[in-house]
Structure 1
Amino acid sequence: MENSFWILTSQGASYPTLDKDIDTDCLIVGAGLTGLHTAYMLSDIGKKIVVLESDKVGYGSSGRNTGKITSSHGLIYDSISKKYGDEKSRLYYEANEDGLKLIKNIIKKNNIDCNFEELPNYIFTENDDDLNKIKEEYKTCQKLEIPYEYLNNIENFPLSVKGALKLDNQAQFNTKKYMDGLAKVISSKGIEIYENTPVVGLEKKNNEYIVKTKYNNEIKAKMVIIASSNIWHDELGLYFSKEQAYRSYLTVSKLNKPIAKGMFINVEQPSKTVRTYTDKDKNYLVCGGFDHKTGKCDDESNIFNDIVEFAKNNFKIGTLEYRWSTQDYITTDNIPYIGHINKEQENLYIATGFCKWGISTSAVAAIIFKDLITTGNSKYKELFNPSRTGSYLNLKYLKENTIMAYDYIKGKIKKGSTEFDIQKEEGKIIVIDGDKYGAYRDKDGKLYVVDITCTHLGCELKFNSFEKSWDCPCHGSRFNYDGSILNGPALKPLKLLGMGDNDIDPDLV
């Protein structure tokens, strides 16, 4: 898996791997933006706090995004108003502005060097058919007193813009530099951070939670916050059925001719996101988007060709220097799940389904968690409530889960190849003694053959030609070609040929 530009340009401090059993008041699982923001917000409440990370700080989706900090989340406000009313739509704006303000304050107070820059955000369309959508969004935002400006074009932006919305006082930064600085601040406050410590299960005993790690250590905690993007422990909230996993792609090239200062995203498909990045005397174009459901693309490598072609046709750029992909989870109402995992578990919290806008909403999650833990309530509690029925009692929910069922059945009956002539860096589904396996030969010629039944709920995996991974089209779990886990909600790796069948464990309760 290729690392992002942000990860490659910032090497933060290293933190130990947990090698013993420990007790704590609050355990935060995930050291991305949500986990780090939450630890920062809780650092003054007088509790012992521990942060666990399965990889390294900021190496997950938080270190693989665009670096845009904004309350301008596409055409979100008209959608929320129609579904939940104007009050909640305005509240969504206020929450994300609070998140943006928190990030600004953290950077300023702690003097974090992360290439932070305040810029406007633009939503635009090049399509006459989508112009009315932008106008409807603008009309709703005027009513809600959300300070968008409507534009007929964007000056010094080389696309044929038919209409756009501009929101001032937004920001962008290098996310990994920011997380490295924030982790350092948190650590200095006495919060323990452990890296390379994957979690494999959670259970409750005698009013406390016991979290088990891959290395057979246990953490006893009075409260647990799952801040790891996907919900690997479910408590029968069935979150795997309430959100969809999407892959999206980013590239970085030298920018040889300046464009308008700002952050840009279109309305139509394919999705296109554009921003600039300046580091010392070098100017870059960050360009991408082109998202699709996980496990639903025949050739991921071709997507980068499309992005580069788009960038070259519209901007003065040099050669492609960096490319990477990321994974996000989308709820059916495009509002994240933040709060108690269900109505019964008062001390088990989740944050997931950030709908590709996880920077500002990660800070929103931290604000909500602190409010709920210290006062029992939050002004944003109901809007982001994971138990809200409006997020799944709808036709979109039924449609998506019908597609999941189809993918499950389709995977079971799809035939694999009986030809085992596999080239270097090639992966394919093969049949051995009537059973399907995934085979991949690495660049050194070593062959890996794994059981491709997903260990989450048993769907058949699909080979990802760019990441060299096995991806689940049902719920977004991803595995390296050697069977190790790249993305949850799966908690158990794939077994190699000769090790038996995979262990299916959705950890529902």
Structure 2
Amino acid sequence: MTSLWLADFRPPARPPLQPGLHFDNVVVGGGLTGLVTALLLAEQGAEVAVVEAMRLGCGTTGNTTGKISLLQNTRASEIRTAHSESVLRDYVDANREGQRWLLWYCVEHDIPLQRAPALTYAQTERAVPQLRAELDATRKAGLETFFVTDLEVPFPNHGAVQLDDQAQLDTIDVVAALARDLDARGVPIFEGTRVRGLHSSGNRQILETEHGDVTARTVILATGTPIFDRGGFFARLEPRRSYATAFLVPGPIPRGMYISADSPTRSLRYVPTENCELLLVGGHGHGVGRTRSAAAHADAIVRWTQRIFPGAEPVSHWSAQDYHPIGQLPYVGPLLPRQDRVLVATGFDKWGLTNAVSAAQTLAGRIIGKPPEWSRVYSTWHPRELAGAFSALTTNAAVALRLSAGWLGFGPRDALRENGVPAEGEGRIERHGLRPTAVSTVDGRTCRVSAVCPHLGGILRWNDDEKSWDCPLHGSRFTCDGRVIEGPATRPLADTDHDTEHD
């Protein structure tokens, strides 16, 4: 599963970290947030390096739908429900500045983009009040939105909120340009280097990686979700996966950027390529590890698209992980209160292109001593977090329930060992004594690893779409042979047996 943007991305691989290095600032994470933060710091003459666990842009940045929009589904009305109108205006101002910078950067570096209207539409009549609330919230926040009753599209709808002159692009074009920019400024970029721990020694932060230690005065965690448990951000975020498929469509493709206000979420946009235009359809999200079949969510997108656009042929399929903040606002700032030596950026809730840039501006401004005025909306520690208190209780009650249910599932009635191995593409949890074991067969290879997430002990679930082991507690994900893919976990699953090859 490779996104449309990553399919042809073949930049030169960067070397892994060499131990014993020191930098004033180390950015952990090579997505849009991390790379823009590093660039803004370098432009101010600050010493900075980037450390990426895999390859640049291969996480959420390289798996988005590529929309750069200030109309973000129903985010404005959701924020206004939980906070004041002044907070909502700050959020919109932050995203406006992030959008402005990103569009400027694309023009300056000849990065292709397409201007298009953004539309939040109602699939059913029941969602029309949500549209009205979003229209009211966005207009009060200073956006020139308006209501449209006739969308002239083939899919069912009951009107939409529209905002003109938004944009879309290939996110990896931006990643490649940022990498070239950082190279030109002499900023070291280390790939294939997973950070596994952090401790302080005097004024130095010591990052423990799989290739040795690196020290810094300031560490910036731009890793989707903070990979260190200090600050308890894993309890303030809800990890979610969503799916996307690009289609070759025989007929005309709608020209706007559409997303539904009601569930299941359906997001649409057109994608220009060298030879043709494709239709990109995304959505059908769910909590990480909290579905019986991830493949069923992905298949639902294909079935819906082929029903609405007869003859649509899937050409690329992928998924992405995002984090919903319990207080409705992203967290950008200190990992711990009043301690500016470790900073984080997380909780963009699927709107990471504008939020990533404004988060980078906030982080760089904080380090340099000139944070933007609107950056207060991104506070990591603020009394308004109480606005998300009920959501936090609900979210973490569900986590506790899944933790206990996962372990209680291994009772005396369970077989000590299943007969045979899982069929190709399948995985299951077995009980070997008191030890839950994750067993899967992928590409003819059967692997047995611990079924216990090393983060906080959740029992993993098999992802039949991506052939991965996913934790339903806080969103850590692992390959079939136990390597970390993403999430707060920093260490692989323990081996429990030797792999088996099959003909």
The TM-score bracket by the shorter chain reads over 0.9
1:23-58 deviations in whole A, cap 9, x for unaligned? 101100000010111112111222211000000111
Q: Are the equivalent residues in 2 in contact too, given 1:339–1:381 (CA < 8 A)?
A: no
State the 1:377 CA deviation.
Answer: 3.7
Q: Are the equivalent residues in 2 in contact too, given 1:120–1:262 (CA < 8 A)?
A: yes
Of 286, 290, 293, which residue of structure 2 is paired with 1:296?
290
Amino acid at match of 2:292: D
Q: Does 1:332 align with 2:326?
A: yes
SS of residue in 1 equivalent to 2:134: helix
Change (3 A) 1:177 1:145: closer
Q: Does 1:224 align with 2:219?
A: yes
Where does 1:301-312 land on structure 2 (aligned, <5 Å)?
301-312=295-306
Name the residue aligned to 1:507: none
Name the residue aligned to 2:235: 241
Name the residue aligned to 2:246: 252
State the 1:81 CA deviation.
Answer: 2.3
Alpha-carbon distance in 2 for matches of 1:483, 1:382: 39
Q: Are the equivalent residues in 2 in contact too, given 1:57–1:195 (CA < 8 A)?
A: yes
Alpha-carbon distance in 1 for matches of 2:427, 2:137: 49
Q: Does 1:136 align with 2:133?
A: yes
What value does the CA root-mean-square deviation take over the aligned residues? 1.6
Amino acid at match of 2:203: N
Alpha-carbon distance in 2 for matches of 1:354, 1:5: 22
Name the residue aligned to 1:503: none
SS of residue in 2 equivalent to 1:37: helix
Amino acid at match of 1:211: L
Alpha-carbon distance in 2 for matches of 1:368, 1:212: 26
Name the residue aligned to 2:426: 426
SS of residue in 1 equivalent to 2:239: strand
Of 374, 382, 401, which residue of structure 2 is paired with 1:380?
374
Name the residue aligned to 2:168: 172
Q: What residue ranges of structure 2 are gaps of 5+ in the alignment?
A: 499-503
Alpha-carbon distance in 2 for matches of 1:65, 1:421: 39
Alpha-carbon distance in 2 for matches of 1:111, 1:145: 30
| Mean CA deviation greater in 373-382 or 292-301 | 373-382
SS of residue in 2 equivalent to 1:220: strand
State the 1:290 CA deviation.
Answer: 0.1
State the 1:304 CA deviation.
Answer: 2.2
Alpha-carbon distance in 1 for matches of 2:187, 2:227: 24
Alpha-carbon distance in 2 for matches of 1:459, 1:304: 25
Change (3 A) 1:391 1:317: farther
| Mean CA deviation greater in 181-190 or 219-228 | 181-190
Name the residue aligned to 1:89: 88
| Mean CA deviation greater in 191-200 or 309-318 | 309-318
Q: Does 1:395 align with 2:394?
A: no
Name the residue aligned to 1:80: 79
Name the residue aligned to 2:474: 475
Alpha-carbon distance in 2 for matches of 1:447, 1:314: 39
Q: Are the equivalent residues in 1 in contact too, given 2:266–2:284 (CA < 8 A)?
A: yes
State the 1:5 CA deviation.
Answer: 1.1
State the 1:348 CA deviation.
Answer: 1.4
| Mean CA deviation greater in 384-393 or 481-490 | 384-393
Q: Are the equivalent residues in 1 in contact too, given 2:205–2:218 (CA < 8 A)?
A: yes
Q: What residue ranges of structure 1 are gaps of 5+ in the alignment?
A: 500-509
Alpha-carbon distance in 2 for matches of 1:262, 1:424: 40
Where does 1:356-375 land on structure 2 (aligned, <5 Å)?
356-375=350-369
**Percent identical:** 28
Of 121, 124, 127, which residue of structure 1 is paired with 2:121?
124
Where does 1:409-424 land on structure 2 (aligned, <5 Å)?
409-415=404-410, 417=415, 418-422=417-421, 423-424=423-424
Alpha-carbon distance in 1 for matches of 2:341, 2:35: 19
SS of residue in 2 equivalent to 1:454: coil
- Corresponding pairs, count: 492
State the 1:376 CA deviation.
Answer: 5.1
